[in-house]
Amino acid sequence: MQKVFQCIGSLFVLFLLLPCSAQQQFNNPVIAGDLPDPSVIRVDDQYYATATSSEWAPFYPYFKSKDLINWTQIGHIFEVQPEWTLSSFWAPELYEMDGKVYCYYTARRRSDGVSCIGVAVADSPESPFVDHGIIIEHGKEAIDAFVFADAGQLYITWKAYGLDDRPIEIVGSKLSADGLRLEGEPFSMLRDDEGIGMEGQYHYKVDQYYYLIYAARDCCGPKSNYDVRVARAKSFTGPYEKYNDNPILIGGDDYVSVGHGTAVKGLDDQLYYLCHGYVAGDKVYQGRQPILQQIEMNAEGWPYFTSGTKAVQNQMTGLALLSQNKTPDFEDFFEANKPKVDWTWNYPYSSNKTEIRNQQLHVKGITNPDNNYGTVMCIRPTTAHYSFETQVANHNDASKGLTLYGDNKNLVLLSCEGNNVIVKTVLDGNETVLKKAVLDTLNGIYLKAEVNRGVYCDFFMSKDGKDWNKLNQQPIDATSLTRWDRVARPGLIHAGEVSEPAIFNYFKINQLQ
């Protein structure tokens, strides 16, 4: 009988403990597709995030979430390129103050190509951002801003000397109360004495220590080895000591490399770090995707990630999470005389804008001499195996159809040109025609591409959108389209005169795994 009571007592204790330790599982990435250098803030019970857009427009996609796991894009920081900027739209960092949201962002200056840090301000988290121009110019390069408030004083920090023949440093300065200008002289906080890189810093304070979490090693590309490290100090300005057990987060079986993020308090009052990672295997060609990891403190007063030193896909959380939504397929029939207004459509920042006519997408002809292949509209790939298709509604000699697009000199095309359907590659500006098929009808040709393993392409044409004729015998290897800081994107393309437009009846992309 005593053993029975002991058993009942043990079960009762276990029953009491279960609600306190309830954990739910979610899977990284929490936002699918190429979104490097994510920044996240919490405003009341809502979260907002943005990320690098690199050479794609609109600039710095902007997201909203109630649980840190399920995100919806609500726009971009900039729909129109700031006048002072040239290219390289990197590392936006959000900061909320008195109800306003500030975005400190990196871009190359149009006048000389030097990377500087600008600032834009929105009157509320979902109001339009208004650009206030450059706030930091520092030598040959200033990138990766972060803002921190300490005892009523605002500070801003950034990466300096990345292009100089000297160690990289994290540099800081006092920031004006309105967040729009530097005050006083910059000061050094941490130096890359190991020569392994140092950037993407995040600051926070626990008890007596200020912590500086940063990224090191190679940031970009399928063979990169980015990792996360930490230093601490008893004053925000330093001096900082680096953790002897660095790095605290690395790639592993699930991720190739991870780093460059910021953290935020969850609704469960725990600290969550949102950074980017290349998924290992074929999904590496989806680019740097946002991943979420929980941070806690060890007995020695150093932060660690609860799921271990190696970043993993499957995570446990105490956040109130009903379910994790699957990234949906995408289709656009260009209704109401405009394309869908959401995160999926992007275009190279230097290409033409588009105009809509007669419920069909009418892409203007080329006017930018830097882009020999006309106007492009693309979306971020969200899986390694997918198909995308369209119907070309008009006939002329212009090139119009589908593309897997790296940049204006590196792309793959399936296009209608006159009476032909053509498959061709462009590598470093050199064009190779792989297949030319003569059309026996000029009415509404359907085009489709299927991508396997992230970069292997097969192309098809059809008269009715049901029976497809494969055009290439062997898959086309598009690995070379991967740029150092971004991956190839599928979409629509047109190259020709304004008098020879491209009109598409629809576009859709389907995930096949």
Average pLDDT, the chain: 89
Half-sphere exposure of 270 (CA within 13 A, CB side): 22
**Region of poorest pLDDT, from 223-227, 319-323, 334-338, 451-455:** 334-338
Provide the CATH number for the domain formed by 330-511 in this structure. Answer: 2.60.120.200
Name the phi and psi angles at 34, rounded to 5: -80, 100
- 416 burial (CB, 10 Å; 0-12 / 13-18 / 19+) is buried
Contact 426, 481 (CB under 8 A): no
Q: What is the pLDDT of residue 11?
A: 38
Q: What is the pLDDT of residue 501?
A: 83
* 384-420 pLDDT per residue, tens: 999 999 999 989 998 999 999 999 899 999 999 999 9
The single-letter code of the amino acid at 196 is I
Name the token pair of 217. Answer: 């090693």
Percentage of the residues of the chain whose pLDDT score is greater than 70: 89
Average pLDDT, integer, range 359-382? 60
Q: What is the pLDDT of residue 364?
A: 39
Q: What is the pLDDT of residue 384?
A: 96
Contact 332, 339 (CB under 8 A): yes
**Region of poorest pLDDT, from 18-27, 190-199, 356-365:** 356-365
Q: What is the pLDDT of residue 371?
A: 52
Band (pLDDT 50/70/90 cuts) for residue 356 is very low
**The pLDDT of residue 369 is above 90:** no
**The pLDDT of residue 246 is above 70:** yes
Provide the CATH number for the domain formed by 23-317 in this structure. Answer: 2.115.10.20
- Give CA 479 to chain center in angstroms: 19
Q: What is the pLDDT of residue 510?
A: 95
Name the phi and psi angles at 481, rounded to 5: -75, -15
**The pLDDT of residue 13 is above 60:** no
Higher per-residue pLDDT: 83 or 334: 83
Contact 56, 486 (CB under 8 A): yes
Percentage of the residues of the chain whose pLDDT score is greater than 90: 79
Band (pLDDT 50/70/90 cuts) for residue 16 is very low
Q: What is the pLDDT of residue 351?
A: 45
**The pLDDT of residue 165 is above 70:** yes
Report the range out of 183-187, 323-327, 334-338 with the highest average pLDDT: 183-187
The whole-angstrom separation of Cα 312 and Cα 323 is 19
Q: What is the pLDDT of residue 320?
A: 78
Average pLDDT, integer, range 457-480? 96
Average pLDDT, integer, range 331-356? 62
Q: What is the pLDDT of residue 15?
A: 34
The whole-angstrom separation of Cα 81 and Cα 68 is 28
Average pLDDT, integer, range 282-293? 97
Q: What is the pLDDT of residue 368?
A: 39
Band (pLDDT 50/70/90 cuts) for residue 340 is low
Name the token pair of 161. Answer: 């000397």
The whole-angstrom separation of Cα 157 and Cα 103 is 14
pTM: 0.92
The whole-angstrom separation of Cα 131 and Cα 138 is 20
Closest CA to 260 of 219, 212, 220, 215: 215
Average pLDDT, integer, range 461-479? 95
Start-to-end Cα distance in the chain: 56
Q: What is the pLDDT of residue 372?
A: 58
**The pLDDT of residue 280 is above 70:** yes
Average pLDDT, integer, range 280-305? 97
**The pLDDT of residue 20 is above 80:** no
Q: What is the pLDDT of residue 349?
A: 75
* 70-123 pLDDT per residue, tens: 999 999 999 889 999 999 999 999 999 999 999 999 999 999 999 999 999 999
Question: What is the strand order of the sheet 209-216 is part of?
Answer: 199-206, 209-216, 227-233, 241-242
**The pLDDT of residue 365 is above 50:** no
The whole-angstrom separation of Cα 325 and Cα 315 is 15
In the chain, domain spans = 23-317, 330-511
**Region of poorest pLDDT, from 293-297, 329-333, 447-451:** 329-333
Average pLDDT, integer, range 358-383? 60
Contact 159, 139 (CB under 8 A): no
Q: What is the pLDDT of residue 18?
A: 36
Secondary structure E strands in 192-318 = 199-206, 209-216, 227-233, 241-242, 255-265, 271-279, 288-297, 303-305, 314-317
Name the token pair of 154. Answer: 């605002």
